[in-house]
Amino acid sequence: MAILNYDAQHWRDALGIAEGCEPTALILEGTWWRETATQARLSKLNNVAELAFPEMFVGDSNGVRIAYCCAYGAARAVEPAHVFGQLGTKLMIQLGTCGSLDPNAGTGVVALPVECQACDGVSQYYGAGEKVMTDPDLVSAAERALSQRGIPSQRTRHLTWPSLFAQSDEMCAEWAREGIASIDMETSAVVAVGDRFGARTFSLLTVWDQLFEGRTFNDPLPPESAEALKRSNDAVFDVALEIALGAAGR
């Protein structure tokens, strides 16, 4: 049987999760710094265990079961999203950093994608069209939670692209003319999987690259920008947990 046609019981057996113990929320994060990110995020959870599939973890936050996986790029991110979506997890949250095409969005601003152009190379196989939409109520909740923490945020028209490296100056200029404000490598694919399996989705992406001026992650940040990046990157996980607890009625 093709993997797309597996049922929930198959994934329970494969992961060793008993029926009724499925996570309430899946938090995904796209980063090269997998080990550092995983250690930091799991330190916020209790009763952490790695599942039978490597780098897929579950833990508790105030009694709510949370799954976490550091998955870089759309092709990898759809795998845990698919597994937990088929298990019945109804909330998927994408974390990470992004490139900005908006001169008004400085480093450390958290982009909240609303409309996502699905150019990731995977979404169409989950039934997505040219664009997908995140959950508006969850975007509003994230906006409020970030504001309470003093973290600036921006709702964006967003693009998910297959490669961080395959982005030329000409392409960035064209995307800016089209009104694209932020770019990552996972969000639209996770939204497409969520839509297929009936999960609510949203994304919290800390601005790093200033693509409108040609600055990428290879360029050093001044100390104040580096601190803003770290502060926002730390905050987004706390916001994700807060919204997951709210979705569970806690």
pLDDT higher for 220 or 136? 136
Largest distance between two CA atoms of the chain: 53
Range from 12-16, 29-33, 189-193, 233-237 carrying the lowest mean pLDDT: 12-16
Question: Which of 17-21, 70-74, 154-158 is the least confident region?
Answer: 17-21
> Looking at the predicted structure, is the pLDDT value of residue 7 above 90?
no
Please say if the pLDDT value at position 228 is more than 80: yes
Residue 1 confidence class, pLDDT cut points 50, 70, 90: low
CATH of domain 3-247: 3.40.50.1580
Chain segment 73-120, per-residue pLDDT in tens? 999 999 999 999 999 999 999 999 999 999 988 899 999 999 999 999
| The pLDDT value given to residue 211 | 75
Token pair of 29, please?
């994060």
- Cβ-count burial 157-178 (b if 16+ within 10 Å, e if not): bbbbbbebeebeeeebeebbee
What is the spatial distance between Cα 235 and Cα 198, in angstroms, rounded to a whole number?
27
pLDDT, average across residues 211-240 = 87
Query: Apex CA 119: angle with CA 213 and CA 215, to 5°?
Result: 15
Alpha-carbon distance of 98 to 225, in angstroms, equals 15
- Closest CA relative to residue 152, chosen from 99, 107, 186: 107
Task: Output the pLDDT for position 209.
Answer: 78
Where in the chain are the domains?
A: 3-247
The mean-pLDDT minimum among 50-54, 177-181, 213-217 falls in 213-217
